[in-house]
Amino acid sequence: MRINGNAIKIGNVIEHKGSLWRAVKTEHTQPGKGGAYLQVELKNLRDGSKLNERFRASENVEKVRLEQRPYQYLYGDADLLTFMNMEDYEQIQVNADLIGEQSVYLQDGMEVEIEFHEADPLGVKVPEKVVLEVADTEPVVKGQTAANSYKPAVMENGVRVTVPPFVGVGDKIIVNTESNEYVERAN
């Protein structure tokens, strides 16, 4: 689907210079001289390289639609991660680079979305929030209030998060996978 060059939004996938790119940042610019343009930071979906491009309203780009399918994480072996299709139980292996830093949040049996372009997996999206157990943190200090005082904690998967003072070792908490922040105590 062709779209106007200044209609690119963050998260859009476009075909540009023979590759697939995801828009990471966009900024509309109106210089004193000349026409307005859209400054876009693009990330290559195949090799992870970045590119800054200017797109004018008069230019057209090819917007690519990615198909998202539900998969279940089974296990990881070195740099390969194995997932099972939730509909036909077929298994696929993808490179851990498709997830990047969020691979630390993968748990056995976790449901994820894998993005495909034609038959190629291009990205793996983990849930926005996950439940993790606190493996190590400072002990609770009596009389300490929760108002703006946080302490460091290490989760069962090795991720470091700051938590309120009432959270102790063995507690289960909800962590935002995008911002790597404490959300709330899990029930």
Q: Tell me, what's the pLDDT at 91? A: 95
Give how far Cα 12 sits from Cα of 78, 114, 125, Å. 31, 16, 15
Which structure tokens are listed for 38? 């859209």
98 and 59, same structural domain? no
- Residue ranges of alpha helices (H) inside 37-105 are none
18 and 51, same structural domain? yes
Which of 64, 93, 109 corresponds to the end of one domain? Answer: 64
Which of 15, 44, 64 corresponds to the end of one domain? Answer: 64
Domain limits for position 81:
67-125
Q: State the virtual CA torsion across 21, 23, 24, 28 in degrees, nearest 10.
A: 140
114 and 83, same structural domain? yes
Give how far Cα 3 sits from Cα of 9, 56, 58, 68, 117, Å. 11, 12, 10, 21, 18
R_g of the chain computed on alpha carbons: 21
List, for residues 121-144, the tens digit of each pLDDT value.
988 889 999 999 999 998 866 666
165 and 143, same structural domain? yes
* Three-class SS state of 50: strand
121 and 90, same structural domain? yes
Q: Write phi, then psi, for 3 (nearest 5 degrees).
A: -130, 160
Which structure tokens are listed for 169? 């070792």
Q: Tell me, what's the pLDDT at 11? A: 85
Predicted model pTM: 0.75
How many structural domains comprise the chain? 3
**33, amino acid identity:** K
Regions of the chain with pLDDT less than 70: 140-148
* Three-class SS state of 12: coil
Question: Cβ(153)–Cβ(171) under 8 Å?
Answer: no
- Scored b (16 or more CB within 10 A) or e, 123-144 reads bbebeeebebebeebeeeeeee
Q: Tell me, what's the pLDDT at 70? A: 95
CATH number, residue 169: 2.40.50.140
73 and 56, same structural domain? no
Q: What's the full length of the chain, in residues?
A: 187
